[in-house]
Amino acid sequence: MTKFESAVKVISASQELVYEKLSDLNNLEKVKDRLPSDKVKNLSFDKENLTIEVPPVGKITLTIVEKEPCKCIKFATTSSPLPFNLWIQLLPVNETECKMKLTIGAELNPFMKGMVQKPLQEGLEKMADMLAMINY
């Protein structure tokens, strides 16, 4: 399994608040307008599922498959040109701050890894930046 990790982001909200917001995907409605329209199209979601179109990759559907309260939310692709898992990990700093890191794990052969490594890492960093900017 090949893993890609985002930089660690510090969020000015408690670990509990961030977890509560991110574990219900309906809360993404508030950040929908901030997504770059050239990079992301046709975002739709409900409480447990998220579908997004990423040119030139295509349509990706992620579903929450496991939640560890206040610590981790795990997603798996149910529809994607490239199957992968995504983890959002949260660690407390103090009462009013926490740290967040995103990790993608995918089974990639060396050829595919060479093709997707840079866009996947860039996309992961942009997603981490976006999640860090949410008003929790």
Query: Domain range spanning residue 26?
Result: 2-133
Closest CA to 40 of 24, 26, 22, 58: 58
- Residue pLDDT, tens place only, 58-109: 888 999 999 999 999 999 999 888 889 999 999 999 999 999 999 999 999 9
CATH code, domain with 83? 3.30.530.20
Dihedral sign, Cα of residue 24, residue 30, residue 36, residue 41? positive
Q: Which band of pLDDT confidence, cut at 50, 70 and 90, is reported for residue 37?
A: low
Structural domain count of the chain = 1
DSSP-derived pairing of the beta strands 85-94 and 58-68: unpaired
The pTM (predicted TM-score) of the whole model is 0.88
Sole residue written with tokens 């983890």: 87
